[in-house]
Chains A and B, each alone.
Chain A
Amino acid sequence: MKLRITTLAAAMAAALLAVPAEAKTFRYAFQGDLNALDPYTLNETFTLGALGNVMEGLTKRDKDLKIIPGLAERWEVLEPTRWRFYLRKGVKFHNGEDFTADDVVFSAERCLSPESNIKSRIAAGTKVVKVDDYTVDFITTGPNPILHYEWDTWYIFSKKWSEANGATKVQTSSTQLSPFTLKANGTGPFMVESHQPGVKTVFKPNPNWWGKPEHNLTEVIFQTIKSDATRVAALLSGEIDMMDPVPVQDIARVKANPGTDVLTGPELRTIFLNMDSLRDELLYSDVKGKNPFKDARVRKAFYQAIDMEAIHSRVMRGNSANSALLISPLLFSRSAEFKRHPYDPEAAKKLLTEAGYPNGFAVEMDCPNDRYVNDEAICQAVVAMLARIGIKAKLNAMPKAKYFEKAGATQKYDSSFNLLGWTPGSFDSHNVLLNLVGCRDGKGSGAFNYGGYCNPKVDELAGKILVENDVTKRDDLIAQAFRIVHEEAGLIPLHQQTLAWGVSKKVKIVQRADNQILFYWAQKE
């Protein structure tokens, strides 16, 4: 009898242990919503990241953001303006259709259509030519070394599926969501099982994926949790396995909890300050008839008055990396050559005196309060630090919707001094030099140059960088341009934020610096 019970128990235990397909559901939450499942409608990291599990581009980026083959097996530059991409064979879309060159040509047209929000993926004027079913040529108007830099988030649509589902046109920003945007058909390792915009999305693994799966999940559930405290509580209580972001003040608590941990790492976004050096008279200042920010000494005085160590340890509680450049060191090979101008209030005061402002002056500072990590607190610290050198800065903190309207192009850069953050979409310095540093020409250059800093020499270098195919020479040109901006303190770089993901200890997941949540690398116990 006793023996039988033991045998039975052993058999049951064995049965329990040997369940072959154990359900492994990975639940994660983000502060924002997942709306349309058309990745061409919104050029935004979270949406593109979520869809990156479902759809794929010709290239992919690995765990360290290095470009690797995706739907294209390999590629070569035939002539400086002709790139040839060899497509992977035997790849199928989720609905069973074969992936061919037609899909690439179709996706390129769709990407460049007027309604698309990701037009920047393919340089204007590029021709896409099908050579055969598995070869595609890209013919550019000039040499373009970074042609394929953003193609990891230019996801390929199935031509037939798009035609059958009315998805040939991109969802426009001003019209109603079309039914096709609630579905998705890609070639990726996961498929969308169900999607309720703004509430919940369920993913299932794609059994026919061409690659070798690096995850062990059987289901993934995404939900939006807006409130910081609730997102933390949901993680601590084990209702979710992962969430992003962990608020700075809760990092210690999530780490202290036995079942959870915080993954931190550098983020690509750089936070910096703009000073209006374009207008002849500042809009918001007590200096009349001239603009003190036109004088590089004044800008450098502001730079040296800001104690970044204090901001790093107090405001950011150690969760930031101070930066001398407007781009993350992960994205520019020679960033180590640049050092911040040292914090030195005495030197700053001397510079102000030399420039003719021994008693400082008053200026208003505009700052968003719901966009970047502790954005308003950073501005408050800057205002207090500037007071030590006699600058009476008055802080206007406002919600992002208001801030971008006032300080940006909408109200003609109606600001004298402000804080902004930027991640170059192409992961490349040219994007920074064009958008943040380039002279404003109203056409595209300097569109996000909220201070209007302008140095034609930098623009000239940017033009050369755009067409230089040689990597070493190109990096040298970039370094030259950054050197000029650094020396005359055209803008004041502050820091890169830190990513903070809350994860259950049962889960192993790769945190990439671009903050895409890619669960095809997730393992759950």
Chain B
Amino acid sequence: MLAFTIRRLMEAAIVMLTVALMAFVLFRFVGDPINQMVGQDTSLAEREELRERLGLNDPVLVQFGRFIWNAARYDFGISYQVKRPVTSLIAERFPATFELALTAALFAVLLGIPMGVYTGIHRDSWLSKLFLSVSLVGISLPTFLIGILLIYVFAVQLGVLPSFGRGDIVRIGGWTTGLLTVSGLKALILPAITLGLFQMTLVTRLVRSQMLEVLRTDYIKFARARGLSDRAVNFGHALKNTLIPVITIIGLQLGAIIAFAIITETVFQWPGMGLMFIQAVQNADIPVMSAYLLLVAFLFVLINLIVDLLYVWIDPRVRIYGREA
């Protein structure tokens, strides 16, 4: 188990180095950050001086080497645009994104799994058909459109929920949370639904198809023959055996939700990392972009690792084969 974990962590380091290198090669094409940093009347000489001071005139490899050396010491430099250390910017923005992603994931799982089980068991009921139609909407509509539709209905027409921002937040140590205030909770609802809807439909459909398959197997028939209650058969035996692929998907999707909340955060002006990233791209803010990409790579590696470990825990077969191999 330990060897497995260590091997995975080594792989993680290689993945992150590769991501950083690719990002750096791409940064040559994002444009000139200087124009966004100064006013229009700034003279050419001053612009050139600033470029020199930021090290933008150095060869790409030198810049890359400097970046890796600093990143290894958890120093990602100072944002060109916001002019604060990138690490503190990320620390400040991470709680917002994390709370949003977690709420969205909970929403997806807590609604998606029961809906999947229900539609799996009662294939032909009208409620199942309704669930499936709703999930079709979730899968086919793009995120920004869902967000804008929700804003239009709940903020503009009904006026019950806020259209942007995070509401009032409470500071606990280095963490900020919107979960403890009414306005914070209200502000969380629309973005979380927007972000989680796609994942919810994915979970519903996945659980449903897995249920349909598992319910046909012999051991379910046997369990029924033993006279077990429907509840015990459906949840104790059937659902448990559908969970392996579901956990894989949910795990990877959680990474995707955190990393790519960009669109949802932009639509709702949610002060998280995604919004920070999109602004960094527009302004060619290289320190923020590189740190963010590295963080995303790290998150994915970490989540993959956790998912692998969870497999071992849920499915004893993986454990046994793993030992033989």
B266 within 8 A of A: yes
B46 CB, nearest partner CB in chain A, Å: 8
A442's nearest neighbour on chain B, judged by CB, is B44
Check A197 against B40 for contact (C-beta < 8 Å).
Answer: no
Check B83 against A35 for contact (C-beta < 8 Å).
Answer: yes
B114 within 8 A of A: no
Q: Which residues of B contact A334 (CB under 8 A)?
A: none
Q: Which residues of B contact A226 (CB under 8 A)?
A: 266, 269, 275, 278-279
Contact with B along A193-205 (1 / 0, CB 8 A): 0000111000000
B33 touches which of A42, A197, A401 (Cβ 8 Å): A401
Check B83 against A177 for contact (C-beta < 8 Å).
Answer: yes
- Decide: A425 near B40, CB < 8 A? Known: A176-B85, A236-B156, A399-B31: yes
Q: Which residues of B contact A301 (CB under 8 A)?
A: none
Interface-facing stretch out of A160-168, A313-321, A387-395, A403-411? A403-411
Check B269 against A118 for contact (C-beta < 8 Å).
Answer: no
A230 touches which of B50, B159, B268, B283 (Cβ 8 Å): B268
A425 touches which of B32, B39, B54, B159 (Cβ 8 Å): B39
A223 CA / B271 CA spacing, docked (Å):
11
A230 CA / B161 CA spacing, docked (Å):
13
B7 within 8 A of A: no
Q: Which residues of B contact A224 (CB under 8 A)?
A: 269
A447 touches which of B44, B54, B78 (Cβ 8 Å): B44
- Decide: A175 near B34, CB < 8 A? Known: A117-B39, A226-B275, A230-B163: no
Check A447 against B43 for contact (C-beta < 8 Å).
Answer: yes
Which residues 254-309 of A have a CB within 8 angstroms of B? none
Q: Which residues of A contact B284 (CB under 8 A)?
A: 401
Q: Which residues of B contact A408 (CB under 8 A)?
A: 32, 35
Which residues 18-37 of B have a CB within 8 angstroms of A? 29-37
Q: Which residues of A contact B271 (CB under 8 A)?
A: 198-199
Q: Which residues of A contact B267 (CB under 8 A)?
A: 227, 229-230
A115 CB, nearest partner CB in chain B, Å: 10
A10 within 8 A of B: no
B1 CB, nearest partner CB in chain A, Å: 43
B170 CB, nearest partner CB in chain A, Å: 14
Contact with A along B38-52 (1 / 0, CB 8 A): 111111110100100
B44 CB, nearest partner CB in chain A, Å: 5
A179 CB, nearest partner CB in chain B, Å: 11
- Decide: A410 near B32, CB < 8 A? Known: A35-B81, A223-B165, A229-B148: yes
Contact with A along B255-298 (1 / 0, CB 8 A): 00000000000111101000100110011100000000000000
A444 within 8 A of B: yes
A469 within 8 A of B: no
Check A401 against B155 for contact (C-beta < 8 Å).
Answer: no
Check B164 against A225 for contact (C-beta < 8 Å).
Answer: yes
Check A227 against B31 for contact (C-beta < 8 Å).
Answer: no
Q: Which residues of A contact B53 (CB under 8 A)?
A: 174
Q: Which residues of A contact B30 (CB under 8 A)?
A: 401-402
Q: How many of chain A's residues have a CB under 8 angstroms from any CB in B? A: 53
Check B38 against A43 for contact (C-beta < 8 Å).
Answer: yes
Q: What range describes how many residues of B lie at the interface?
A: 35 or more
A404 touches which of B32, B42, B50, B164 (Cβ 8 Å): B32
A324 CB, nearest partner CB in chain B, Å: 23
A286 CB, nearest partner CB in chain B, Å: 26
Check A229 against B32 for contact (C-beta < 8 Å).
Answer: no
Q: Which residues of B contact A398 (CB under 8 A)?
A: 31
Check B282 against A229 for contact (C-beta < 8 Å).
Answer: no
Which residues 425-454 of A have a CB within 8 angstroms of B? 425, 435, 442-444, 447-448
A227 CA / B83 CA spacing, docked (Å):
23
Q: Which residues of B contact A236 (CB under 8 A)?
A: 156
A175 CA / B79 CA spacing, docked (Å):
9
Check B148 against A43 for contact (C-beta < 8 Å).
Answer: no
Q: Which residues of A contact B165 (CB under 8 A)?
A: 223
A444 CA / B42 CA spacing, docked (Å):
9
Check A239 against B155 for contact (C-beta < 8 Å).
Answer: yes
Q: Which residues of A contact B279 (CB under 8 A)?
A: 33, 226
A71 CA / B36 CA spacing, docked (Å):
31
Which residues 145-170 of B have a CB within 8 angstroms of A? 148, 151-152, 155-156, 159, 162-165
Q: Which residues of B contact A370 (CB under 8 A)?
A: 282
A398 CA / B282 CA spacing, docked (Å):
11
A448 CA / B43 CA spacing, docked (Å):
10
Check A230 against B44 for contact (C-beta < 8 Å).
Answer: no
Q: Which residues of A contact B38 (CB under 8 A)?
A: 42-43, 117, 173
A400 within 8 A of B: yes
Contact with A along B70-96 (1 / 0, CB 8 A): 000000001011111100000000000
A44 within 8 A of B: yes
Q: A118-B39, A401-B32, A410-B35 are in contact. List 10 more A-B contacts (CB 8 A).
A: A43-B38, A120-B41, A174-B53, A174-B80, A223-B165, A229-B148, A234-B163, A402-B31, A405-B35, A425-B40
Q: What are 8 pairs between A and B in contact, CB < 8 Å?
A: A35-B83, A173-B37, A173-B50, A176-B78, A230-B164, A230-B267, A231-B164, A401-B283
Interface residues of A (CB under 8 A from B): 33, 35-36, 42-44, 117-118, 120, 171, 173-177, 197-199, 223-227, 229-231, 233-234, 236-239, 370, 398-405, 408-410, 422-423, 425, 435, 442-444, 447-448
